[in-house]
Chain A
């Protein structure tokens, strides 16, 4: 029996290792392709490691377009959105879960109704609103138009629902204001959900293409997604210079990988955290 379970454990591990390799392979392929020549990328059978790694491709791609500017824009906009969304989602979710007021159910219903409207249907009305507010073609427009997310509100609402109401009541008995209860009791207990929110929102916003493209026209406001596309069209000469395109793609996703590495621990622990909160 122990032998059997050991073998099945081994099989499991091999299976998951293979799965992990499969997931990682496109990234590996992207990075190694960035080091090859165009001919080597298209060679059949493919080479797993470039014959002569051309590290200069990264520098060449970086210098062909203002990628520092693009990435700076994207990171600034995405981080601002993450902060704003964390604050307003926390407040909204608190109202929905631990406050008592009339028409609370209706309020939740209206928010949920908003979730059902497809994003493409609000592009034009959203554009008109921004235009009236004179926020087109500005950082403020890019940030404000994305600063409320119903998905984020519901994510935090689910987390707050896991926290027993007694915890909030205890705070009220001690005379804490709603704000104090929210930021010093609820948020620390559910911080893993906020980490998930931050990660998902950051990735979403970093990858966002159509909406930012629609509301900006100044090249210096271009986000990395639009910048990468411009590079594909111009510097990459419509897909002729694949090594440079691969190099550019590789360094543009680097911030995403970095964010994931940093937040990984918190996310993995998220299950325990929510369980722990109701124990206390």
Chain B
């Protein structure tokens, strides 16, 4: 009896698992056909000229002022024509957007366009290639795009993602602090100059710093930018060796460690909830507890430029001008969207990246416009006359490095992040931290072969 019970239990459980497995396999197939059927409806509707408009969903994870600006552009687009209605769906952030997209792809119910990009997913066929869709847009003018941004969206020679806006890290400084110490921002060409200026501006009482000369942003980003500016690279030219323990890297990172922990002229805010460290750093500068900080071009929407001013990241003595990273936030069209939806999505992306609108986005958020012609946009020209800081990120993007595409899927970036924490927070010598990071990263890279 007991044996019978056990056997039947096992077989029942096995049967159940098989059933659920079948269900799991069957569902995406069914859903895909359902999605296909659903998408044919708009095709039929869109075909006759002047028919019902195609309504598409656009998922984006932007809050605050960025979200408001996105919403206003969506409304402007919907009002500007009758063929496409974009319905913006706000997600918590970039990560949540991707998580939800993953579920949506599995269920076959995808949005037509999403502010998210994933090269691995593009290779697996979850995103639609855009080349034909772009060719269908008469006034697209691909050559006008900032080419580093456009290249970032290419996978194996095909355009899978379009840049919506770019960003790069620039320097924001207090005008009064610089004036008080007689420092001319235009004369700061190298990090050595900046260190000297920071030393001059730092105020300390009884061994405790009360006013910091500079605040780099927590994380590896700033220090990677500075190492690239000095001539360092993350991988060797043939891509087989991780070169983050070269003298360029060690000297650069040691420079920051010394300023933070020995000279105490710089400070790092770390940890906290979400963007807390970021805003604490900004707060220090705005409240007059630090002379300046290194932050995103996107911070311009939050800053008061009667107090601060922007400048480009410096280079290094003997190494020329700075070569910090400039990257783009990109949007893609999921492959499962119907043909009419894909075309509607491309119309929206074309509208968003038009010279006028990318300039509008740049003026209102501080992010970098994706077209060079934005520089000639009348609104942009007028705005930059009274707000010269808006041009700084664009100028810096002209001599920027492309963002690092981690072939290990994030392991090299992780190693750099851990090393940055060691240098910035734990005061571990840069040579030690970077050698360890190099070994971890190299091991991850070797595994790919």
User: What is the interface of chain A, defined by CB distance below 8 A to chain B?
Assistant: 103, 105-106, 109-110, 113, 123-125, 127-129, 131-132, 136, 213-214, 217, 219, 226, 229-230, 232-234, 237-240
Contact = CB atoms under 8 A, between A and B. Distances in A.
Interface string B101-135: 01100111100000000000000000000000000
B16 A132 contact: no
Contact of A106 (B9, B106, B107, B278): B9
Please classify the interface of chain A as helix (H, G, I), strand (E, B), loop, or mixed, using the class held by over half of its residues.
Answer: helix
A221 to B, nearest CB: 12
Interface string B178-211: 0000000000000000000000000000000000
Contact of B90 (A125, A131, A219): A219
A105 B96 contact: no
Nearest to A39: B287
B92 A230 contact: yes
Please classify the interface of chain B as helix (H, G, I), strand (E, B), loop, or mixed, using the class held by over half of its residues.
Answer: helix
25 contacts: A106-B5, A109-B13, A110-B9, A113-B16, A125-B27, A127-B103, A127-B106, A127-B107, A128-B24, A128-B28, A128-B107, A131-B31, A131-B109, A136-B109, A213-B96, A213-B100, A214-B100, A229-B92, A230-B63, A234-B64, A234-B67, A238-B63, A238-B276, A238-B279, A239-B273
Given A110-B16, A113-B13, A131-B107, A238 B8 contact: no
- Residue from A105, A213, A233, A237 whose CB has the most chain B CB atoms within 10 Å: A233
Interface in B58-95: 59, 63-64, 67, 89-90, 92-93
Contacts of A238: 63-64, 274-276, 278-279
A214 B99 contact: yes
Nearest to B89: A217
Interface string B1-20: 00001001100110010001
A237 B278 CA distance: 12
Nearest to B21: A125
A105 B28 contact: no
Contacts of B274: 232-233, 238-239
A234 B28 CA distance: 35
B23 interface: yes
Contacts of A233: 63-64, 92-93, 274
Classify chain B: how many residues form its interface, as a range.
35 or more
Contact of B5 (A105, A113, A131): A105
Nearest to A125: B24
B30 interface: yes
B8 A214 contact: no
A125 B279 CA distance: 39
B107 A125 contact: no
A131 B279 CA distance: 40
A213 B96 CA distance: 9
Contacts of A132: 27, 30-31
B272 interface: yes
Given A103-B5, A239-B273, 9 more contacts: A103-B12, A105-B9, A106-B5, A110-B12, A113-B13, A128-B27, A233-B64, A233-B274, A239-B276
Contacts of B63: 230, 233-234, 238
Nearest to B90: A219
A230 B63 CA distance: 8
Contacts of B107: 127-128, 131, 136
A127 B108 CA distance: 11
A96 to B, nearest CB: 15
Contacts of B89: 217
Nearest to A104: B5
Contacts of A229: 92
Contacts of B92: 213, 226, 229-230, 233
A278 to B, nearest CB: 28
Interface string B269-288: 00011111011000100000
A128 B106 contact: yes
Contacts of A237: 64, 279
B13 A110 contact: yes
A41 to B, nearest CB: 12
A251 to B, nearest CB: 19
A106 B89 CA distance: 46
Contacts of A103: 5, 8-9, 12
Nearest to A108: B9
A128 B34 CA distance: 12
